[in-house]
Amino acid sequence: MAGSPRKIRVVGDPVLHARCRPVSSFDAELGALIDDMFASMAIAEGVGLAAPQVGVDLAAFVYDCIDAAGERHIGHLINPTIETSGEPEEHDEGCLSVPGPYHELARAPLATVRGVDRTGAPIEVTGTGFFARCLQHETDHLRGVLYIDHLPRNRRRRVLREMEPFDWNAPTQ
Ligand code: NI
């Protein structure tokens, strides 16, 4: 893989709790960011990763995720907007920026995301099941929202207490 892993930011880091800026330069620096995000997601064994999770406040995320039919989807989206439909379904959800615990959360079973790719070309991605959940989770990251922000306050506190550092997340940059 072309990129190299970057340190993954953990809940409490301001970059995770603010709205990201839209990408306007589709240059080599953006390409390097996307490559590094893929490398970071792979080493952390994540199914999705948003730019603020590696400390960059740009509206971009990557994914490597299985849908409701068992099909694997790998890709990236920049400046996304999302539409969801269907009766929300409860499933366990976790986040590399809240390392350790998982918690049930209701998400729509179908999501369509429209944005552009690293060259600026328009793309549209539709996901079902766990992939739909992933698309909602990553789009949330870009507006400064973590999955635990959807939980009642006492549940959120419990998840935060259960957090534990991961080996792959070395304290060095
Ligand atoms: Ni996350």
Question: Domain boundaries in the chain?
Answer: 14-161
State the distance from the centre of ligand 1 to the C-alpha of 140, rounded, in angstroms: 8
- The pLDDT, as a whole number, for residue 170 is 52
State the distance from the centre of ligand 1 to the C-alpha of 110, rounded, in angstroms: 18
The structure's pTM equals 0.94
In the three-class reduction of DSSP (H, G, I as helix; E, B as strand; rest coil), residue 104 is classed as strand
b/e code 92-121 from CB counts within 10 Å (16+ = b):
ebbbbbbbebebebebbbbbebebbebeee
Amino acid at 42: A
Task: Report residues of the chain scoring pLDDT below 50.
Answer: 172-173
The overall average pLDDT reported for the chain is 94
- The pLDDT, as a whole number, for residue 173 is 41
Domain 14-161 has CATH 3.90.45.10: yes
Which residues are annotated as catalytic? 138
d(CA 91, CA 53): 22
State the distance from the centre of ligand 1 to the C-alpha of 87, rounded, in angstroms: 22
State the distance from the centre of ligand 1 to the C-alpha of 96, rounded, in angstroms: 5
Residues 6+ apart with CB under 8 A from 163: 10, 11, 98, 99, 100, 101
Amino acid at 10: V
